[in-house]
Amino acid sequence: MPLEVRGLDLSFLKDGTETRVLRGVDLTVEGGEIHALVGESGAGKTVTASAVMGLLPFPSVRINGGGIFLDSVDILRLPRRNGGDYGDGGLP
């Protein structure tokens, strides 16, 4: 079951200010693969991993575009529990 991040574009919202931190992130991880996210400080490694894990701090985050597909389901479109976590029973 591949994990596919496609065109992920994401902003943080604070005090009426929008800060765009991810622009067009694409990655694919096939089942059984292990990858490392490499980049300079502030590049968005933690935010990308948090998005995949369902740990984005909504409602301080806005998804501007793209998706995160697990078994072809966009986990960013799943209902959020407690305004934050994805899904109502954990990740599919």
Ligand X SMILES: Nc1ncnc2c1ncn2[C@@H]1O[C@H](COP(=O)(O)OP(=O)(O)OP(=O)(O)O)[C@@H](O)[C@H]1O
Residue 90 φ/ψ, nearest 5 degrees: 90, 180
Judge contact between 25 and 45, C-beta under 8 A. no
Nearer to Mg ion, 23 or 45 (CB): 45
Asked if 91 touches ligand X (CB under 6 A), the answer is no
How open is the CA angle 59-76-83, to the nearest 5 degrees? 30
The DSSP code for 79 is: P
Nearer to Mg ion, 6 or 45 (CB): 45
Asked if 44 touches ligand X (CB under 6 A), the answer is yes
Asked if 39 touches ligand X (CB under 6 A), the answer is yes
To ligand X, the closest distance from the beta carbon of 87 in angstroms equals 21
Scanning 24-32, 37-45, 62-70, 72-80 for contacts with ligand X by CB under 6 A, the matching segment is 37-45
Judge contact between 21 and 61, C-beta under 8 A. no
Which parts of this chain interact with Mg ion (CB under 5 A)?
A: 45-46
Q: How far is 5 from 87, CA to CA, in rounded Å? A: 18
| Residues at the interface with ligand X (CB under 6 A) | 12, 19, 21, 39, 41-47, 57
